[in-house]
Structures are given as structure tokens and as C-alpha cells.
Amino acid sequence: MDRRTALRAGGVLAALLMSGALAGPAAGDAGLAPLFRTVGDIIIPPTDTPGGGAADAFIFVSRAVERRILGAPADLLQTIKRELNRRAGGDFLSRSASQKLGIVTGLDAESFGANVPIDGVWLTYKALVLVGYYTSEAGGSKELDYEPVPGRYDPDIPIGPGQKALSNDWQGLSIRKGAMKT
């Protein structure tokens, strides 16, 4: 391949990437979007900022599962879908908003119980939703403030009313039991 052909091919790929044509969930997960956008909005409800569903945290989760980020099993989304439908006694999406909330709250309570192994699928899914949300435009710029040079380290900073948490060290926190940095 000559240099001119390589540059053209690179230009086409760059144009596709900038246009968003290659963005979106993994190929096999597109049909799951309505379910996981609903669950995303239950995990991170919309307030004055978009919720987990509107922020498309599902797209991040789908791509993260495809790449096995956080050790996510390949069938993570299908496993969660089956469990939600089992608890709903049918199609989870056909239930009322309060029933959906109850199902997710119950699953959450069981998954974060005292004797639950730390590598459960719900814990992995929820961690991916949180990372996906807080690295999205909605979570990263509307929910959090960013200071490029935050100053000296203060482990206990009071936050006043209306002040947002800082997004500088999102890796410093973990939702997993026993992994919280102090």
C-alpha cells in the first residue's frame, strides 16, 4: 500500500469516528437498550441533570462487557435481563414504575448484603453504570465540577449547599464492599 492510499484510508476512518458512525452499543446488545436505559434511570434517577438512561451509560456498559472490563462476563447483560424478568414474573419493562423500582431495589439489597461475594454480576453491572455515567458528558460536566489543578490534598473537605463534588479522582472511590479508600 502506498502512502497516499494509507492516508486516504486513515482519513475515512477518522471521519467515521468523528461522525459517531462507529459509536453505540456492541453489535448484539442494541435490542437491550430500552431495558438497560430504564434500569439506568432507576440506578441514577434524572433530577436537574440527566439520569443514567438519558446519559446512555448503557452504551459504555455494553462496550465494557465486550472488552471484559472489571472482569465482566460475556453474558452479563443477558444474565441481568433474565434475572429482572424472573423477578418481574414476565417482562420487566411491562411493569409499573413502582414495581420496576421495587425489583431493582430488592436486587440491590440482596447484592450488597453482608454475605454476598464481591464479584457478583449485579455489583459489576452497577459499577460499570456508575463509571459510564460519570465519564459521560452528562455525568462528567453537569453532575460534577472539574478543577484541572485541584490544589493540595485535603482528605475531608466540607461541601456547602449547591456545591458539586469534584470529578478529579473518580478512581479513588469504589462501590464494592470493603474497597472504600479512607
Whether 118 is in a domain gets the answer yes
Whether 93 is in a domain gets the answer yes
Whether 1 is in a domain gets the answer no
Total of domains in the chain = 1
Whether 107 is in a domain gets the answer yes
What's the confidence (pLDDT) of residue 17? Answer: 46
Quote the domain boundaries for residue 24.
Answer: 20-147+162-172
Whether 177 is in a domain gets the answer no
Whether 109 is in a domain gets the answer yes
Q: Model-level pTM?
A: 0.69
Whether 152 is in a domain gets the answer no
Distance CA 88, CA 103 (A): 7
Whether 31 is in a domain gets the answer yes
Q: What is the DSSP string of the chain?
A: --HHHHHHHHHHHHHHHHHTTT-SS-GGGGGGHHHHHHHHHHHS--SSS--TTTTTHHHHHHHHHHTTGGG--TTHHHHHHHHHHHHHTS-GGGS-HHHHHHHHHHHHHHHTSTT--TT-HHHHHHHHHHHHHHTSHIIIIII-B--SS--S--SS----TTPPPB-TTGGG---STT----
Would you give per-residue pLDDT tens digits along the chain (182 residues)?
555 655 555 554 455 444 444 466 665 667 788 899 999 999 999 999 899 999 888 888 988 888 888 888 889 999 999 999 999 999 999 999 999 999 999 998 888 877 776 668 898 999 999 999 988 888 888 888 777 766 667 677 777 888 877 665 555 544 444 444 44
